[in-house]
Structure 1
């Protein structure tokens, strides 16, 4: 059993954030002034910390040690600002909500976390693309959220930058529904249709077999998918962050890559809010 804690982050690389206002109400177009922005300043003992509210503009706080959990834009408990999975520390870089049907029913709250040990690797990749595009500081987030951003995010994943996704249903569901949704999202990725390696198909089969838990997935319970050093991913499930059991492992880097691409890229990601907030936050790593 793994214990996850969401309070103290001991990383000397994550930095203080400079606050800016942002409204998350729906609007037909996105302008630079309406986007979620954070600034990262390198410093000893610094850390990423910000508060996200669902229904009104939020002024981000600058804190040396984050104490404020993060509220996704739906009715769920706040998300921890940090996670420790075994001995590996992750920091939250965005939250959102998964909605389905034209009525936009909320299905689950979701948070994206970045591995602290991979911060420099991620920063170097982003800095390279910033130079390639000859961008100003405020423009990298725009590029990451565009079609060109898919290539950049794909490189982060191919270079095994470790992310973790924390999923909390806001209505009762079941494991079969969750598994089928995950497999469908992976298989429908454009990248998946270009993969000819038999290991990818074997990885999908393995995912279906290992993710064989039956029964209900009650609202408020937690599922976490995190990438490992080799590009695969592991899943954990439980009723709280301190009571999470290992659910399954997937060794195929391509399966893991397509899983995370569906959250971080494309016109129809699993959660547009999560995608936007996460990519805007990642863009600040090179400021």
Structure 2
């Protein structure tokens, strides 16, 4: 598919509004009722904006959105630059390209929404290629969650969106707003939207280095420090235990990760992360062994902190991933 570079700009002067009520921390709701929208509300979640912690809810908003069955059977984002004649995206020439659709070894079909290269140090050493994917079956759910009423609730004096273009402008602003974007990503996760991060090693490494990288990413999320200082001591305890589980999951197998090896971080509807590895058999080839499931990390707060770092605008791990994913989400919704 062709790629059209689009930079969404807004002339709206959007000011943050007080949200519904103060909450000590954000949490998770049960899977039942999150993915079934016969109910008219979603569990309220909190977030930190401007040094204050707020909570919000989606009371009744979902009932105002009509979704046509079958609209999202395939996903086509103008931000995804496919290779000529094939359904892949070349991120860096030294490793295999990213498929625009991903199924095996995952539980369902995922669509590519963002991609980029992780670089470290001032020398910009390339570490891995990251592809961010969303479950194809959940795209209709994204549209229900990120509806115009919800987006407009974050701002004062915003023009009410009466057309898809106006909603697109508002949603793009919110997804690229450092104070709001993490809330939107978190709300997608807590509402049961499934994502996958596909990590492809650009240089020879091992699972311990990748493990430590995931943990650093989580701890570098600005919300990590805020949550660890929560008045509710159980929040910090949950995160600490979740990071231990993440570490233990990677420690279950002593595996090298030669260049072109893959790690999949698949998030299910309960915000659990299923970690799967496909290691290269022989250096310099694309021949991988059978997928190895290392285990599952079940702490939702760890999941939220990790994927906020991929798709949120406050402190994105890879800016291109966040920018492309934001516009892809806008394309899916609008």
Give me the TM-score of the superposition, normalised by structure 2.
0.66
Distance 1:59 1:255, change over 3 A: closer
Across the two proteins, how many residue pairs are aligned to each other? 248
Asked whether the equivalents of residues 238 and 245 of structure 1 are also in contact (C-alpha less than 8 Å), the reply is yes
1:136-155 to structure 2, matched below 5 A, reads 136=166, 137-147=168-178, 148-155=180-187
Q: Which residue of 2 aligns with 1:280?
A: 327
Question: How many angstroms apart in 2 are the aligned matches of 1:263 and 1:224?
Answer: 14
1:1-287 to structure 2, matched below 5 A, reads 20-22=3-5, 31-32=7-8, 46-49=73-76, 67-72=86-91, 75-84=94-103, 85-127=105-147, 128-132=149-153, 134=160, 136=166, 137-147=168-178, 148-193=180-225, 194-195=227-228, 196=233, 197=235, 198-212=237-251, 213-239=253-279, 243-287=290-334
**Cα deviation 1:67-104 (Å, max 9, x = unaligned):** 51122256421111212245422111121111111222
Question: What SS does structure 1 have at the residue aligned with 2:118?
Answer: strand
Question: How many angstroms apart in 2 are the aligned matches of 1:126 and 1:44?
Answer: 16
**Cα deviation 1:185-204 (Å, max 9, x = unaligned):** 11232322315423322111
Distance 1:45 1:268, change over 3 A: closer
Asked whether the equivalents of residues 273 and 297 of structure 2 are also in contact (C-alpha less than 8 Å), the reply is yes
Question: How many angstroms apart in 1 are the aligned matches of 2:192 and 2:326?
Answer: 17
- TM superposition shift of 1:253: 0.7
Question: What SS does structure 1 have at the residue aligned with 2:88?
Answer: coil
Asked whether the equivalents of residues 50 and 68 of structure 1 are also in contact (C-alpha less than 8 Å), the reply is no
Asked whether the equivalents of residues 215 and 243 of structure 2 are also in contact (C-alpha less than 8 Å), the reply is yes
Distance 1:76 1:183, change over 3 A: same
CA RMSD of aligned residues (A): 3.0
Give me the TM-score of the superposition, normalised by structure 1.
0.75
Asked whether the equivalents of residues 223 and 237 of structure 1 are also in contact (C-alpha less than 8 Å), the reply is yes
Question: How many angstroms apart in 2 are the aligned matches of 1:59 and 1:179?
Answer: 30
Asked whether the equivalents of residues 189 and 269 of structure 2 are also in contact (C-alpha less than 8 Å), the reply is no
Distance 1:266 1:228, change over 3 A: same
Question: How many angstroms apart in 1 are the aligned matches of 2:82 and 2:258?
Answer: 33
**Cα deviation 1:211-268 (Å, max 9, x = unaligned):** 1033421110111001112111111001367831101210111111111111111444
Question: What SS does structure 1 have at the residue aligned with 2:323?
Answer: helix
Question: How many angstroms apart in 2 are the aligned matches of 1:247 and 1:192?
Answer: 25
* Runs of at least 5 residues in structure 1 that lack an aligned partner in the other structure: 1-16, 24-30, 34-40
**Cα deviation 1:76-133 (Å, max 9, x = unaligned):** 2111121224542211112111111122221111101101222222111111434445
Report the structure number with the largest CA radius of gyration: 2
